[in-house]
C-alpha cells in the first residue's frame, strides 16, 4: 500500500533533523504513542525507536494484544539549498509487516515542509491487502504523532 504524508514544522530542516536525533524527543514520541515500553538508540545520523504498543481491538485477531514496532529514522546532511533527504523504515519483528519510506525535508520560508512517501507491506497470502488497509490508519496516526510532538518541542 502506498504511503504519502505531508508535515509542516516551524523550524529549518537542520533543527528538525536535530530534533529527530534528540533522545528526550524520541522518548516523548513513544510516551504519547501509548508505548507500554520503549528503547531509543541514536548512532550518528540514525535514530532507532523500538516500542511495544497496544493494538487496536479490530487488529488483535491478526497480531495479538500488543506488538513490537521498530522504527529507524536516517537523515543526511543538508544540501546547498537546505533540503535534507532521509529515510524512515519500520518493521514488526516476527510478522510480515514493513514500512519503507523516503523523507524529504525542504526549507520554506521559516518552516520545513516534509514529505514522507513509501510503501506499507503486509505479506500474508490472501489477506495481506485487507490487513494493510486496517494497519494504514495506525501508521498514519504514528506519523501524525511525530508531527504533533515536534510542533510542541519546536516551541520550547
pLDDT at 130 (0 to 100): 82
Q: What Rg value do the Cα atoms of the chain yield, rounded?
A: 16
Q: What percentage of the chain reaches a pLDDT higher than 90?
A: 68
Is 97 a residue whose pLDDT tops 90? no
The pTM assigned to this predicted structure is: 0.89
- Structure-model confidence comparison of residues 68 and 113, the more confident one: 113
Q: What is the pLDDT of residue 18?
A: 97
Query: For residue 101, what pLDDT is reported?
Result: 96
**pLDDT of 95 above 90:** no
- At the top level of CATH, the class of 2-153 is alpha beta
Cα angle for residues 13, 14, 15 (degrees, 5° grid):
90
Amino acid at each position: 500500500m502506498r504511503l504519502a504524508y505531508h508535515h509542516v514544522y516551524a523550524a529549518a530542516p537542520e533543527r528538525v533533523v536535530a530534533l529527530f536525533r534528540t533522545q528526550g524527543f524520541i522518548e516523548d514520541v513513544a510516551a504519547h504513542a501509548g508505548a507500554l515500553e520503549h528503547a531509543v538508540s541514536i548512532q550518528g545520523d540514525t535514530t532507532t525507536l523500538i516500542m511495544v504498543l497496544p493494538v487496536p481491538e479490530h487488529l488483535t485477531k491478526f497480531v495479538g494484544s500488543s506488538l513490537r514496532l521498530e522504527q529507524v529514522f536516517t537523515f543526511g546532511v543538508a544540501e546547498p539549498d537546505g533540503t535534507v533527504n532521509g529515510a524512515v523504515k519500520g518493521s514488526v519483528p516476527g510478522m510480515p509487516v514493513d514500512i519503507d519510506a523516503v523523507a524529504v525535508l525542504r526549507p520554506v520560508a521559516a518552516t520545513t515542509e516534509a514529505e514522507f512517501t513509501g510503501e506499507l507491506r503486509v505479506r500474508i497470502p490472501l489477506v495481506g491487502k485487507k490487513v494493510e488497509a486496517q494497519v494504514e490508519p495506525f501508521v498514519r496516526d504514528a506519523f501524525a504523532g511525530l508531527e504533533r510532538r515536534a510542533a510542541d518541542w519546536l516551541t520550547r
